[in-house]
Amino acid sequence: DSDQLSGFSNYGKCVDLVAPGEKVFSAERYAPQYGYNRTFGGPWKGTSFAAPLVAGAAALLKSLHSEWGPDKITETLLNSARPIDAVNLSFVGKIGRGSLDVGSAVAVAAALKKPNRFSGYYYWFASSTIKRLNFDTDRIETITTLPGEKIRALAVYNPNFGSKAQLAVLLERRAFFYVRLLKDSGEIINEFSLELPIRKDIVVKHLRTTALQSAPARFIVEVYYPKKKQTIFKAFNERGEVVRELAVNGIVENWTMERYDGGLIVTQKIGKILQLRRLSWNSSPSAPIALGSSGVVVEAVRSGRVTQGKVEQPIVILRRGNRIEQQVVDLVAGISSIQLITETRDRAPWRLLLADSTASEEALIFPFATGGGIFRLIMTRGEPVAEIKLPELAGTTD
């Protein structure tokens, strides 16, 4: 209480700051059968009592700013420490920034504004109804209902990189598949049939879209041929004509479109090994990257610029037993980084969104379970930016 260094304390250039460690009263174990007869006592002293005060101050800062990582928390604690060199002349330069000041640290953190909310939408369909979650209002909104229609897939795209999003709905009707284009309000823009007849010997699975500035909007449909054991990606223009095809042997587990480069990111099981590779419409595929062996499931895959630079990286959400993991793949170097998101026995499917950051060129990563809960918007290295509470999102989406 005199701000002087305790006789048992450490000191030197390795010390960052000091905290009270004498005359500390605390809860005690109560077990009379072992001679522990009090629930509260003291005083105690020691560095083991000073360290938890710093940890508790860090927790308070984290409670105010969940997006702060260790570096920001440490910086705030050090900058708000109270200098005490004047009463410790024998230890000048050996007790760091001074004494922990919890009140000042919390006041600094409280004065800093939190980042803007995660803004945007998540779209899905249930039966013949298309819905979306509005992240600004936390409400589920109904976009439109298509009575009598059989929706097979739904994709969201931005036709002009800056305009409002549009929806592409893959419909199964009579003898052919159709694509209906909708505004985000549900208003019909256009509808066209695909050069893809409905047949019993094919399985039409998913629809993806691309709106590259260098090419007109295209709609890519995954078609599996069981007899041939072959998957063919068919690219259609806005007249429903096939403009390109890309064949892959076997069943595709999951896939996505590159946002900027136009390639396909595909995951497949080759034998017992789950692999990821990039497919190009004009060149050879990339070397495969192993994601895991039998029992590993791809929950979601996206592609975006999630690290500094102009090269896209695939981001995969994997279920490995009860572990939900995030894997960012560097196709050039042939390596990947893995981070644990959570451990859960809940089998609700996981999805993945990428969000543009206002503070960095790196996209932010948002993995979440459709069963609802609290999930973190994170940077590539795992630092949280925001926590978002989601309701249950029952339905199907691409």
DSSP 8-state assignment for residue 87: G
DSSP string, 22-67: SSEEEE---BGGGTB--SEEEEE-SHHHHHHHHHHHHHHHHHH-TT
Residues whose CB is less than 8 angstroms from the CB of residue 198 and which lie 6 or more positions away in sequence, other chains included: 172, 174, 175, 176, 177
**Chain position carrying tokens 């249950």:** 392
pLDDT at 92 over 70: yes
CA distances from 38 to 26, 27, 30, 31 (A): 11, 9, 6, 8
Query: Which is it for the CA torsion 61, 62, 65, 68, positive or negative?
Result: positive
Count of CB atoms situated within 10 Å of the CB of 300: 20
Report d(CA 174, CA 168) in Å as an integer.
19
> What tokens were used for 3?
């701000």
**Chain position carrying tokens 């209906």:** 180
Residues whose CB is less than 8 angstroms from the CB of residue 320 and which lie 6 or more positions away in sequence, other chains included: 292, 295, 296, 297
Report d(CA 341, CA 359) in Å as an integer.
23
Give pLDDT, residue 196. 92
Quote the strand ranges of 118-160, DSSP E.
Answer: 121-126, 129-134, 139-145, 150-157
Under the banding of pLDDT at 50, 70 and 90, the label for residue 180 is: very high
Q: Which helix (H) or strand (E) is 302 found in, with range?
A: strand 296-304
**pLDDT, tens digit, for every residue of 339-355?**
899 999 999 999 999 88
pLDDT at 238 over 70: yes
Peptide bond into 43 cis (omega under 30): yes
**Chain position carrying tokens 């630079």:** 309
Its pTM stands at 0.71
Residues whose CB is less than 8 angstroms from the CB of residue 44 and which lie 6 or more positions away in sequence, other chains included: 24, 25, 26
DSSP 8-state assignment for residue 108: H
First vs last C-alpha separation in the chain: 61
Give pLDDT, residue 167. 93
Asked which of 122-126, 314-318, 359-363 is least confident by mean pLDDT, the reply is 359-363
Query: Which is it for the CA torsion 340, 344, 347, 348, positive or negative?
Result: negative
Look over the chain and give the mean of its residue pLDDT values, rounded to a whole number: 89
Report d(CA 26, CA 47) in Å as an integer.
14
pLDDT at 37 over 90: yes
Give pLDDT, residue 113. 63
